[in-house]
Structure 1
Amino acid sequence: MPNIKSAIKRVKTSEKRRALNASQKSALRTAVKSADVAIAGTDAEAAKAALIVATKKLDKAVTKGLIHKNAAARKKSRLAKKLNALASQA
Structure 2
Amino acid sequence: MANNKSAEKRIRTNERNRLQNLLYKSSVRTLTKKFLKDLEVYKESKTPEQKEKLTKMLGAVYSLIDKGTKRNVFHPNTAARKKAQLSASLKSV
Partner of 1:8: 8
Contact 1:38 1:50 survives alignment (8 Å): no
Offset of residue 18 of structure 1: 0.9
Offset of residue 8 of structure 1: 1.0
TM-score (norm 1): 0.84
Q: Which runs of no fewer than 5 residues in structure 1 stay unpaired?
A: none
Partner of 1:35: 35
1:1-90 alignment to 2 at 5 Å? Answer: 1-42=1-42, 43-86=50-93
Offset of residue 85 of structure 1: 2.2
Q: Which runs of no fewer than 5 residues in structure 2 stay unpaired?
A: 43-49
Q: State the secondary structure of the residue aligned to 1:13.
A: helix
Offset of residue 66 of structure 1: 1.0
**In percent, how many aligned pairs have the same letter?**
34
Aligned length: 86
Higher relative CO (CA 8 A, sep ≥ 6), structure 1 or 2? 2
Contact 1:31 1:57 survives alignment (8 Å): no
What letter matches 2:16 in structure 1?
K
TM-score (norm 2): 0.82
Contact 1:38 1:47 survives alignment (8 Å): yes
Moved over 3 A (4+): none
CA RMSD of aligned residues (A): 1.3
